[in-house]
Amino acid sequence: MAVSGQQAFSLAQIAARLGGDVLGDGETLIRRIATLATAGEGDIGFLANRKYKGQLQATGAAAVILSPDAADAFAGPRIVTANPYVYYARVAALLYPDEAGFTGMHATAVVDSAVPDSVAIGPHAVVGRNVRLGDRVVIHAGAVIGDGVEIGEGSVIHPNVTIYHGCRLGKRVVIHSGSVIGADGFGFAPEGKAWIKIPQVGAVVIGDDVEIGANTTVDRGAIEDTVIGQGCKIDNLVQIAHNCRIGDHSVLAGCVGIAGSVELGEHCVVGGAGMIAGHVTLAAGTMISGGSLVMKSIRKAGHYTSVFPLDEHDEWIRNAAHIRRLSHLAERVSELEKKLKENDANS
C-alpha cells in the first residue's frame, strides 16, 4: 500500500480540479494511490494497460480511473477519462504535493555570487563567481555550481550535483543527486603512441522543464555546446557525450549511452540500455527498443529494435553461428541463382 497522502479528496473534488466523469458515489474519499492488486480502503487505482483488466474484479480499491471503453468493467466508484495514465499522474501530484523544502542560505554554504532572496541553498553547497540564479531556485546540500553558470527560476538541484562552469539551465529544471553536467567530453588526438587532450571549450545548454535522473552525466561540447531540448526526461545512469543535441520532449531511459555528436529529433524515445554510436542522427519521433545498438542514422520515424532474442544458451550459440554464416550463404544463393538463369537461357 502506498504511503498516505497529506489530505483526502472526494472523487467529485478530484474531478472538479482535473476533469473527467464520475460514475458512482462522488463522495468517496481518496487518500492514496495504489495498484489494482494492492489497493484497499481509501486507495484509487487505475487501468492503463488492458492486460490488467482482469484485476478489476478482485481489486479492493475504493475507486478506479478508467478509459471510456473500460467504464463498465468496474462496478464501484470510478472516474472515466480519455487517458487514465496521465490522469493518475495528476491525481498523484494532487495527493502527494512536493514538500515545501527549506528556505534561506545555510551557514556552511559558500556563495561567491549575489542571489535572489527567494533562492534556497543547503549545507556545504558551493556557488561560484558570476553565477546567475533565477527566483525560487533550490540548491541542496553538497551541490557545486561552477563559475558563470545560469539556472532559471523554479529549478531544483539535488544533493551532490556538480554543474561545471559556463553551463546554462532553463526554468523548472530538476537534476537529481550525483549527476554531473558539463564535465569534459572524451576528446583526445593521437600523436604516435600518445594521446593529446583536446580542450573542451563548449558548454551544456539545458532547456525549460527538463528532468535529469541520478548519476547521469552530460558532457560539455568540444567547440559548440551540448544541447538538451526543452521538456526532455532523462533517467538515471545515462551518458550523453560531447556535442550531442537532444530534441525537445525526448525521453532517455536508464543506462542509455549516447556517443559524441549524436542528434535526436523531437519526441524521440530510447529504451533502457540503448546505445547510439557517434555522429548518428535520429528522425523526430523515433523509438528505440531497450538494449538496442544504433550504428547508423535513422531518417524515417518508427519503432526500431536490434536486440537478439533471449534463448537457452546452447540454442543461442547455434543461432549466432548461423547468423555469422549469413554473408557466405547469401553469396552461395547469388551464385546458384546466376547458374539457374544461365541454364534457363541455354535450354
Q: Contact 127/115 with Cβ under 8 angstroms?
A: yes
DSSP type of residue 347: -
Query: Distances in Å between the alpha carbon of 211 and those of 7, 78, 257, 283, 319?
Result: 27, 32, 17, 22, 41
List b or e across 284-312, with b for residues whose CB sees 16 or more CB atoms inside 10 angstroms. ebbbbbeebebeeebeeeeeeeeeeeeee
- Whole-number Å distance between alpha carbons of 331 and 325: 10
Q: Contact 130/145 with Cβ under 8 angstroms?
A: no
Angle, helices 11-18/84-95, rounded to nearest 10 degrees:
110
Is 242 designated active site?
yes
3-state secondary structure of 131: coil
Three-state SS annotation for 20-62? CEEECCCCCEECEECCCCCCCCCEEEECCCHHHHHHHHCCCCC
- Whole-number Å distance between alpha carbons of 238 and 184: 16
- What cell does 344 get? 534457363
- Which listed residue (140, 158, 176, 242) is catalytic? 242
User: ∠ at Cα 163 (158, 165), nearest 5°?
Assistant: 155
Closest Cα to residue 160, out of 134, 125, 127?
Answer: 125
CA gyration radius, the chain? 26
CB atoms within 10 A of CB 154: 18
**Which ranges of 38-164 would DSSP assign to H, the alpha helix?**
84-95
Q: Contact 126/110 with Cβ under 8 angstroms?
A: yes
Phi and psi at 107, nearest 5°, equal -65, -25
* Positions marked catalytic: 242
